Amino acid sequence: MAPNDSIAAETILPPKLEGFVERYGMHTAAGGWVFWGWLSSAWIDDIGQTLTAAFERGNMSGTAAIAHYPRRDLQDRGFGVCLFLPAPQRRLGKLLRIELQYKNMMGAIALSGGVRELPDAALANHAEALLKPVPQTPAVTAMRALLERRVIASGFIDYYGYHAASYGWFICAWVSDSWTAEGHGQNCLADVAAQFEIGAAAGAGPVALFDREDLRGKGMGIVLHIAAPAPAAGQGELQSIQLRAGPDVADLRPANTITLIAPEAITDHILPTLQRAHASPGRDALCNLARRRGFEGHDTIGRFADKFLIDFDDIVVCPGDSVMLFGWLLARPGALRALRIRSGTHAATVDLDGGALRIPRPDVIASVGAECGYDHPLCGFIARVPTDFRPGPDLHLEAETADGDVGYRKLPTPRLSGLPALKRILGAMDHQYADIDVRFDRIFGPATRSLNAARLAAAPLPAAETHVLGEPAADPLVSVIVPLFGRIDFMEVQLALFSAHGIGGDVEILYVLDDPPRRHEALMLADSAYARFGLPFRLLTLSQNFGFAPANNFALRAAAGKFVCFMNSDVFPITPDWPQALAARLEADPALGVVGPLLLFEDGSVQHQGMYFRRRPMFGNWHFPQHENKGWRVAEAAGLARKPAITGACMMLRRELALAIGGFDEAYVIGDFEDTDLCLKLRRRGLAAAVDLDVRMHHLERKSQASSAEHWRTNLTLANAWTHERRWASDIDNLEAP
């Protein structure tokens, strides 16, 4: 274990990347670069990693697929890997290196001395030789299927263009007869992948074939449509199109005369071409898409022959993550093929099956159910629509019927943000005994996380004032940090007890007001308390209510002590010289990461003597912290008692260590679970948490907070529990039972 003064640097750096690239090559049929080699174990995961490949004449970067497998020659050093990076085919010269970024880790992989570029034709055989004998994990199986693709046909792209009303690209090209000879051309849907200079689009879309006399029986014309978001600025030109059917691939390249058609003109180009196409459902679908008109500012849903009703109570934007929709829908089952929200050229699909919570709306059934003849009891919904675009003033709903008809409806402008938006989302449902894993994984968890991050980013914490009362300690041993919200009168009581117990001249006190409307009251109370007790302290007043973690972290960055003690305003000391006593515990034991006192209720019974974790069946069977011996009489015990976690009501740790781990994690909204999260982070570093049974304090428990009777506050605790569970469940399961 490192000495106290160097503990902040302990295990901060990620594991070092070891490994080499041994073979690589451009796989045309798969549509990207393949790299074989090995990596150290800490870097292995079968999920996408950000990969950058540096060549002599340029770089390629993107999310890579990865498959790993055992290699006897490596023993415990690492695993063999196959990495695949989707990218346009270019002549870039020799490979220089590749770089991987995964979670908080980043590193470069060197080339082995015998590194070799394999020709396209040899890549599939090389993949089969390496991957067939190894255990067939899902990642290995997927990689084999990808690299087994073969180009059986070719062709050229004549023109293409983005069609905003159909939310996708139209492509006109031709393909050699070897594609249709395999029977692939008879299918009216095709698996299509388009590769641009930057980025790609892929999916199943309608196709139609037409005769090309100029090809003299060697190929046929083809029209395709690929659903995709609007092209981003700088996406560059189209590089290739691949038609895929199992392992068979038709590789289409830009013709010398390829033309990019403007969005407003693409319909006029495509429709005459489609008139020459062979009659098929694919041609009909393409014609419907090409004739589709965009939103023109008025509702057209009402003209559908198969009537349905839909309305929205609220729309909340969760920046960078999603849009939350609160509303109801009455429609004949199977009548709607798709619902989308759109703004400008951006669109996002509304999934009322997998991405929404269906809820009873008896008010809707009673008022309008008879109007359309439907009475589905769960007609209400709370839907999370994953998207990173910010809706503009033209935000509207696009409804597509099973017959391919499309209609639009203008949507209300989102009106809520910050804390009101959080309250709207979290106050919408009672989650007890429900399937909260699904609810929070798909809907409420990501939305809450996004809104909290946006709320904190909207008003950075430096927007604060510092008020100095008296002469604070110049070189303090301990900095005591106390956030204030609601019951700011506790500051007066606490300072009186600090003074009475002789807190010591080597302690600095920092109060953080996280309740801006009470600023004037807090300043007056601070002046009065200093005049009466003569105890120096600082009062930091924040510009808005940020919550427990941000308020404490702001004061942490302003603190000067060797040790920092986070303390609630409703915690009152009993033991004299308690700051020095807790600091002495940390000084004496480098393996101790955080220590707190024994906390008692007013009647002398135990409020906190350490925490353990217990699953709560009523809340998804998630782990919740429990206070050991809470409400019991104090046992005749003394000394230091190590525990899985201790409460943030009063905890002390080295300031440099607190800064190294970032203080309390601000992903937890307002307050709850920050303390156990901190203790578990320290545990991963090999540092323990403990209660000093010789240091005692009273804790009124949550009396310093405003009433939590509101429904949204209970669900906010659940949102924090979700964050905690997804992060720490496996660690907690490995803890010893109490």
Over residues 374-410, the pLDDT tens digits come to 778 888 999 999 998 888 888 999 998 887 788 999 9
pLDDT digits (tens, 9 = 90+) for 667-702: 999 888 999 999 999 999 999 999 999 999 999 876
For residue 372, is pLDDT > 90? no
For the chain, helix, strand, coil in percent to 5 are 30, 40, 35
Confirm if 384 and 446 have CB atoms less than 8 A apart.
yes
Q: Which residue has the higher pLDDT, 108 or 223?
A: 223
Q: How many residues does the chain have?
A: 738
| Distance set, CA 525 to CA 494, 500, 730 (Å) | 12, 18, 46
DSSP for residue 352: T
| Distance set, CA 135 to CA 37, 70, 79, 124 (Å) | 17, 8, 12, 18
Give the pLDDT confidence score for residue 16 in this predicted structure. Answer: 66
pLDDT digits (tens, 9 = 90+) for 286-296: 998 999 888 88
CA distance 118 to 113: 15
How does the average pLDDT of the chain come out, rounded? 87
Give the pLDDT confidence score for residue 3 in this predicted structure. Answer: 37
Give the pLDDT confidence score for residue 43 in this predicted structure. Answer: 57
Q: What is the mean pLDDT of residues 77-103?
A: 83
CA distance 663 to 88: 44
Q: Model's pTM, two decimal places?
A: 0.74
Among 527, 514, 542, 561, CA closest to 658: 561
**What's the fold here for domain 19-147?**
Elongation Factor Tu (Ef-tu); domain 3 (2.40.30)
Residue type for position 329: L
Q: What are the strands, taking DSSP E only, across 673-712?
A: 688-699
Q: Classify the C-alpha dihedral 457-458-462-468 as positive or negative.
A: negative
pLDDT digits (tens, 9 = 90+) for 571-583: 999 999 999 999 9
Q: What is the mean pLDDT of residues 705-709?
A: 46
% of the chain at pLDDT higher than 90: 52
pLDDT digits (tens, 9 = 90+) for 140-184: 999 999 999 999 999 999 999 999 888 889 999 999 999 888 877
Left, alpha or beta for 655 (phi > 0: left; psi -120 to 50: alpha)? alpha
Q: Which residue has the higher pLDDT, 557 or 368?
A: 557
> Bridge partners of 307?
none
pLDDT digits (tens, 9 = 90+) for 608-661: 999 999 999 988 899 999 998 887 888 777 899 999 999 999 999 999 999 999
Q: Which residue has the higher pLDDT, 424 or 19?
A: 424
What single string gives the DSSP state of each residue in 546-605?
-BHHHHHHHHHHH---SEEEEE-TTEEE-STTHHHHHHHHHHH-TTEEEEEEEEE-TTS-
Candidates 2.60.40, 2.40.128, 1.10.730, 3.30.70; CATH matching 301-415: 2.60.40
Is residue 337 very low, low, confident or very high in pLDDT (cuts 50, 70, 90)? confident
For residue 23, is pLDDT > 90? yes
The CATH code that applies to domain 464-733 is 3.90.550.10
Instruction: Report strand pairing: 622-627 vs 688-699.
Output: unpaired
| Number of CB atoms found within 10 A of residue 47's CB | 10
Query: Under 8 Å CB-to-CB from 722, ≥6 apart: which residues?
Result: 436, 440, 441, 444, 445, 622
